[in-house]
Structure 1
Amino acid sequence: MKTKRVRKNGQAWPDNFAQWRAALNPEKRAELAAHNARAQWGPLKQLPKKADDGPWNWPVDIDRYDRFPGLTPIEERMLTRYAEAYRFYRYGRTMDFGTELDRLVRPLNDTFDYTGIKNKQRRYTLFFFLREIEKRGRSYWGWTTDEWIDTINARVKARQHAVAIAYLLCTFSDLHRLKGDHVVYSCLARKVFGREHTKRISDRVQGLLSEWGYSGRGTTSQVMRTIFECLLFVRSPHLKDITLDDLRTVIGRRPPRTGTYCAYAISRVLTKIGSFAEPMEIERPFIVKAELPNITDGVPAEWAHLCRR
């Protein structure tokens, strides 16, 4: 227990609120405790159940919330009041909104309880969302995909938590359009499916890759990134739910580049697990090097024509 701070003369510092607290009745004390709890928004003590090998249910029940995309006059007034307070004093971040903003705050807090956000990051991210709502004049239930991308990329400190809110609460699915998507997939998979379950998947996949000779760190990292991307794409923690079409869709929406994103190795893993009947075929285009334009740069046209015959 923390000892009470005393002055140099040995006397305790005066408690200016002692008499005021002693005069409160039990109802007022309970109301004060609820006020402090709303101002701090601390996480729940009981850890939520994450994914395992059993049946999977979506962790956030969005049907129990009021998903009206607009704002009520009371919500607009409270958000404007907070935005003005933040503009003039950014460090005053323990403002109590009471029940006026419960429709907006409660879904965010429930999602934060599931993802296990730290208390300081929770408060920072929550206030960031309230400022975004005030700026757009609409609740996050009515944000477009481009608006979600702008919000996610706006703050580095709140980025991963904003992605989790968008994915779990508002069915955001364009993860491939975000900056630094490699970090997004691994972090989001741990938040949604749980750290223990994602570790079991990583150990299982990496064990198979090691048996087949895929020992490079780059290959393993690329495979796990695509595995987590596929799981988030199908919104399931089970590898057996990934189909061959899902894998092709995930790989196909990435920017073109040389190589196949380790698609064949991933398909072998999923075939071994039982998701596919057989691994996908990789078709490599045949390139005639003599027809490449840089081969004949600076060569006279007559000689270049003879070289290509």
Structure 2
Amino acid sequence: MEYRQLGESELKVSAITFGAWAIGGWMWGGSERKDAVAAIRASVEEGVTSIDTAPIYGQGLSEEITGEALKGIDRSKVQVLTKFGMRWDLAKGTLAFKSKDNDGKDIDIYKYSGKESVILECENSLKRLGTDYIDLYQIHWPDVTTPVDETFEAVLRLKEQGKVREVGVCNYNVSLMKEADSVVKLASNQVPFSMVERAIEEELVPYTVANKKGILAYSPLQRGILTGKIAPGHKFGEGDHRPATKFYQPENLKRINAFLDEIRPMAESKSVSLAQLVIRWTIDRPGITVALVGARNAEQAIQNARAINVKLSAEEIKFINDRLYKVELV
């Protein structure tokens, strides 16, 4: 495994980090708890030291599973990354969207990061995770109803108390990052990035490179589509959010799969999967510190972690990029 410093912080994380959204089941059509625990433990055995979770993933379930999986593992050898600012149990802030929990019950998701809420969420996360500190505490989405300084002064207090080691944001633009960074030094920004979702390269990546902030790229496999295993007409489990996204629309799915067919021979020549090739390309991308990759069982987790062993030459990266840049989604 390769380990990378997050910005100018003291935090070193694995270049391939375990993304724990899917194991919470929520919006992914369910998950088997024992398989999820095994997936995290298998990742750690492969050298993955960082686990990224959030309270909203299964309304606490993902954090609980993460805590269970890390029992008996030296806490100083792993980095727990979690989030705050999305409430399903409090109607405050702005309504993000309506959803259903893992039991099919209707829930409303709010973006809210008032001071008391931040502190309460941290305490709840610590309990679910079974730990007394969080390595990277990240706001999940911007909350327009709460002043940025109120939110991050609360996080600064948590850091001073030793409950939080480093501070990050998710889904923040440059201006919001600057505002938050003026209150507490930010280590990173977690944002969507994949071969077919590269919008952050226009403004955000140049800013984070110039100001020495880390980028945690989420959905690097575009929620599974870049594995090459999703064909038109694929049947998804009940509650799975993916069919409604842009990338899974029939024409876009067709165009993405055509691109994958062009680079598949390269993966085969290296005796690796398409997913492993894509993960390696992602962490080799300028400005990208970490790729967050999910897995629902141990075998998936092992294969994801072993993407670190893939080596891409400058010529091979150019070959991929030349074909990638011709992909136009509708």
More strand by share: 2
TM-score (norm 2): 0.26
More helix by share: 1
TM-score (norm 1): 0.27
